[in-house]
Structure 1
Amino acid sequence: MAITVEEIAAIKELQAQGFGPYQISAQVGADPKTVRKYMKQDDFSPAVPQPKSLCGKLTPWIPTICVWLEEDQQNRHKQRHTAKRIYDRLVKEDPAFSCSYRTVSRYVADWKAERRQGHGAQELVWHPGECQADFGECDMYVRGSRVVVKYLVVTFPYSNVGYLQCFHGETAECLCQGLKDIFHYIGGVPQRVVIDNATGAGRRMGEVIRLTELFQRFKAHYGFSLTFCNPRSGNEKGNVENKVGYFRRNILVPIPKTESLEHFNAQVLEECELDNCRDHYKLNIPMCELFQEDKQQLLRLPELPFECCKYRRLLTDHYGKFCIDNCHFYNIGPQYADSELWVRIGAFTVEPLDS
C-alpha cells in the first residue's frame, strides 16, 4: 500500500518528537519497515518526472512501424498511416502480433511528438498601420445563377479588423480594385501590405520578385511598401488566413444572393464594419477601438484615385468577336469584323474603345 505525503510528514514530525518506529507505526498505521525507511531518508525533493516506457510487448514490431512512418514523410499528409491503419496492418500481416491498439497508438503518438520538437513558430509582432491580403473562394448567386467567386480579404493584424470584396477572378485588376475600394473606405493607405504569390500582384522566385505592370503602377500611386511571404509559409500571414475562413463561415453563409458583385461589395463593407465591433480575441477590447491606432498610422490617400484597368490591342474575327485570355469571347457586332481595336479591361467590365 502506497504511503501519502501527509503520512510521510507525520512520520518525520513524530520522529522529531523522539518516538520510535513501532510507536510511529501504531499512530500512523504504516508498516514498521516503511516507517524506518522514511525515518532514514533525508531528501524529500520532488523527483524528476520520467518518460513513460513503452510496452515491451511491442518491441519486436517497432522497426517495422518506424519504416512505415519514415516512408510516410514522402507522402501527402492525408495519405499517411494513422495509428489505426498501422494496427490493422500488423494484425493482418503478422499472425504473431498480439499487442493492443492502445499500445500501438501510444507509440505512434510518441514517435510523432519527438519529430515535432523544434518545429514550432515564433509569434510575429505586427505594428499599427500594417495589413495582410489574400484571396478565398466561395459560391454566390449572381442574378439567379450560382457561380464561383473569389473574395479578397484585407486584415490589420494589430487590431484584427478585416474587410472583404468579391470578384470573378484573382487578376491584377481585381486585386487593385479591391485594395483601392478598401483603402478609400477606411480613409487611408496601410504603410505595408503583406501578400503571398498572388497571381494578380506578381511572383516571388527565390529572392527575385517580379510584379505585374498594373500592380507596380498601383503600388507607386498609393505609396505603400510590399512584402511577399516566403513559399509555403502561410504562418507569415496567419491573421488573414484565419479571417478568410472566418468570413466564409459567417458573412458568406448562407450563400449570398445579389444582382451584381459591385452592389454586394458596397453592402458587405458595412457588414464587416459591424463585425469589427467584436472584442479582440486576446485583449478583450473592441477591435474597432484598436483600429483607431491603425488609422493613425495610415498614409494619406492620393488626390486622384487609381484607374484599376489595363489596355490591350486586339483583333476581331469575321463575326466581329474578340477573345481575351484564349477563353473569353465578346461580340461587338459584324460592322467591326476583321478590325483592330483597343479594349479597356477592369475588375468588372470589358470596354471596347473606338478611335
Structure 2
Amino acid sequence: MTVPLDIRNDIRSMDADGVSRSEIARRLHVSRNTVSKYADMEDMSPVAPVRRARERPGLEGNGPWIEKVLDEDLSAPRKQRHTAKRIYDRLVEERGFTGSYSTVRRFVAEFRRERSSGAGEGFLELEWAPGACQVDYGNFRAAIAGETVELKLLVATLPHSNDRQCVATMSQRSECMCAGLVEIFRRWGRAPRVIVLDNATEAGRMLRGTVTESRLFSQMKGHYRFESRYCNPYSGNEKGSVENAVGFLRRNLLVPVPSFGGLAELNAFLERGCAALSGKSCARDGRPTAEALAEDLAAMRALPGVDFDPVRWVRAHADKRGYVTVDGREYVAGPAWHGRDLLVGMRADTVEILADRGRRVAVLERAYGEGPAVRNPLSLVPALVARPRAFGESTIRRDMPEGLVAGIDRMDGAGRRQTLRSISRAAASSGFGAACDAALRVIEGGRVPDDATVDVLARRIAGGAGGGATGPDLAVYDGFLKGAVADAR
C-alpha cells in the first residue's frame, strides 16, 4: 500500500521530535515497519517516474493521461477542474475508451487520496517562537548579462531573531521556490520547524480553509521535516516580518537597478548583503540579531545528509522534429527521439530529458517566457551518425567552426560517421566546443578524427593547454593514439 505524503511527513516530524516509533505507529495507525522505513529514509527528493508501480488493466493504458490531466488541474480554478465523470467522458470521446466509469472513478479517487496533503490553516500565533520561518515573494528588475529582466525575490525571515535572507529566482514555479529555499537552508545550516506562507505562492493554494499543496513542495517538507502553514495574502499581520523584509532588502540591496554577469553572481551578492545587514540589525527585544539567531538555530532541524533535488517531472511527447513542449517553451531532444513519449525534469536552471527506462537524452538550459527552441548540438549527433548524409542540411553546422564543417563535407559517409561519433564522445567530458576544436586540429593534420585522439586533445584544450605553438609537446601520445597530430604541438 502506498503511504500518502502527509503521513510520511508526520512520521518524520514526530521521529525528529523524539516520539518513540511504537507510539508513532499507534497514533498514525501504520505498522512499525512503515515508521522505520520513512523515519530512516535519507533522501526524499523526487525521482523520475520511469516505471509505474501498477496499471489497472481496465484503464487500457490511459493511467498516465489521467494523471497528467489531474496534475494540470492544480493550476486551474477549483470550479473548472475535472470530475471523474468529466475525465471518463473525455476518455470516451478523445481516446476511444471502452472501459467502465467505475474504474475511472476509483482511479481518480485513489490518485487524489494519495496526493492529498491534509494540511489546514490552523492557529497562527503572532508571538514567534525560535525556529519558525516566514516566506514571501517580491518583484524586482536587474540587468543580467547586459539584458534587463524581471526577476522574483524569494525572501525568508526568522521573526524571533529578525534574520533576513533572500534569493533571486527567474520564476515562482515550485521548482524555483524549492531551489531558493534549499539555498537559504544552506546559509543557515539548519531547516526551520515551521514555514508560514500565503496562498499566492506556488507552494500551495488555500480556498475556504482547505490547502491544495504542490507535490514537489510537499516532498521537500518530508525531506527537511518541517511543517507548513498558510495564511491570507492580504492579512499582513499574519506574516508581517517577511512582508517588511521584502521591501527592506529590495531598498537596501537592489537600488539602483543592479547589473551582473549571471544569476549566480547576483545571488552571491545577495548572500553577502544579507549577512552584512543581519550583522547590523536587532531582534524585537532589542538584542543583536546574531545573539537571538543562536536561539533560532538551536530550535531548528538539522539538515539531512543529502540535499533535496527540486525537480518537477513532466511527461511530454516529442513531435516529428524531436521537440518537446513544457510550460509553453520548446526543448530539443533530437530527431532520433521523434514521436516518443519522454520524461522531462524541470529544475530552476536546467531541463533534463529522459527516455522510457531512465536513459538520459539531453540536459538543456532552462528558459523562461517566449523565445526560440532550446537546443544542445549534441542532441542532433545520434541521428546524424545514423544518417551522415543529412549533415549537409543539419542545423548543427551553425554550432561548429567553419573549417570543421568544410572538412566533414569533404568526407565520405564512413568518415563523417566516425568524426561525429568522436566529437560526441569527447564532448561528454570536455564540452562541445573543445571537442570540435580538437576534431578540427586532427583534420588540419590530414587525418580523419578518431575517438582516442579527439578525446585527449579535447581534454587538453578544455584544461587550457591549447596545444598551440608554445603549448606542451603532444608527440608523446603518438604510440597509443596511432600517430597524434603533429601540429598539436
TM-score (norm 2): 0.46
Summarize the alignment of residues 249-288 of structure 1 with structure 2, pairs less than 5 Å apart.
249-280=251-282, 282-288=284-290
- Partner SS state of residue 291, structure 1: helix
User: For residues 132-175 of structure 1, what are the alpha-carbon distances to aligned partners after superposition, in whole Å with 9 as ceiling and x for unaligned?
Assistant: 00011101111111110011000011111100011110011111
User: For residues 232-272 of structure 1, what are the alpha-carbon distances to aligned partners after superposition, in whole Å with 9 as ceiling and x for unaligned?
Assistant: 31220011001001111111112222232233223321221
Aligned with 1:129 (options 128, 131, 137): 131
Aligned partner letter, 1:222: Y
In the alignment, which residue of structure 2 is the partner of 1:179? 181
What is the CA–CA distance in structure 2 between the aligned matches of 1:300 and 1:126, rounded to whole Å? Answer: 20
**2:316 is aligned with 1:290:** no
Summarize the alignment of residues 131-280 of structure 1 with structure 2, pairs less than 5 Å apart.
131-230=133-232, 232-280=234-282
CA shift in 2, pair 1:167/1:231, >3 Å: closer
Unaligned residue ranges in structure 1 (runs of 5+): 1-121
- Partner SS state of residue 176, structure 1: helix
Aligned partner letter, 1:154: A
Q: Is the CA contact 1:321–1:329 (under 8 Å) kept in the aligned structure 2?
A: yes
What is the CA–CA distance in structure 2 between the aligned matches of 1:123 and 1:130, rounded to whole Å? Answer: 11
User: For residues 168-208 of structure 1, what are the alpha-carbon distances to aligned partners after superposition, in whole Å with 9 as ceiling and x for unaligned?
Assistant: 10011111111111112211111111000034211111221
Q: Is the CA contact 1:174–1:200 (under 8 Å) kept in the aligned structure 2?
A: no
- Partner SS state of residue 280, structure 2: coil
In the alignment, which residue of structure 2 is the partner of 1:352? 353
Larger radius of gyration: 1
Aligned partner letter, 1:244: V
What is the CA–CA distance in structure 2 between the aligned matches of 1:200 and 1:296, rounded to whole Å? Answer: 29
What is the CA–CA distance in structure 1 between the aligned matches of 2:266 and 2:281, rounded to whole Å? Answer: 26
Unaligned residue ranges in structure 2 (runs of 5+): 1-123, 360-489
What is the CA–CA distance in structure 1 between the aligned matches of 2:159 and 2:211, rounded to whole Å? Answer: 24
Larger helix proportion of the pair: 2
Q: Is the CA contact 1:167–1:348 (under 8 Å) kept in the aligned structure 2?
A: no
Aligned partner letter, 2:313: Y
In the alignment, which residue of structure 1 is the partner of 2:117? none
- Partner SS state of residue 150, structure 2: strand
- Partner SS state of residue 150, structure 1: strand
What is the CA–CA distance in structure 1 between the aligned matches of 2:232 and 2:333, rounded to whole Å? Answer: 44
User: For residues 276-332 of structure 1, what are the alpha-carbon distances to aligned partners after superposition, in whole Å with 9 as ceiling and x for unaligned?
Assistant: 01132754432122211111111111121111102112112222221112x212233
Q: Greater CA deviation, 157-166 or 275-284?
A: 275-284
What is the CA–CA distance in structure 1 between the aligned matches of 2:331 and 2:144, rounded to whole Å? Answer: 20
> Which has the bigger relative contact order, CA under 8 A and spacing at least 6?
1
RMSD of the alignment, in Å?
1.9
**2:335 is aligned with 1:334:** yes
TM-score (norm 1): 0.62
- Sequence identity of aligned pairs in percent? 37
Aligned partner letter, 1:260: G
Aligned partner letter, 2:131: G
CA shift in 2, pair 1:310/1:253, >3 Å: same
The size of the alignment, in residue pairs, is 233
User: For residues 28-74 of structure 1, what are the alpha-carbon distances to aligned partners after superposition, in whole Å with 9 as ceiling and x for unaligned?
Assistant: xxxxxxxxxxxxxxxxxxxxxxxxxxxxxxxxxxxxxxxxxxxxxxx
User: For residues 69-117 of structure 1, what are the alpha-carbon distances to aligned partners after superposition, in whole Å with 9 as ceiling and x for unaligned?
Assistant: xxxxxxxxxxxxxxxxxxxxxxxxxxxxxxxxxxxxxxxxxxxxxxxxx
Q: Is the CA contact 1:160–1:239 (under 8 Å) kept in the aligned structure 2?
A: yes
- Partner SS state of residue 164, structure 1: strand
Aligned partner letter, 1:294: D
Aligned partner letter, 1:212: S
In the alignment, which residue of structure 1 is the partner of 2:416? none
Aligned partner letter, 2:196: V
- Partner SS state of residue 277, structure 1: helix
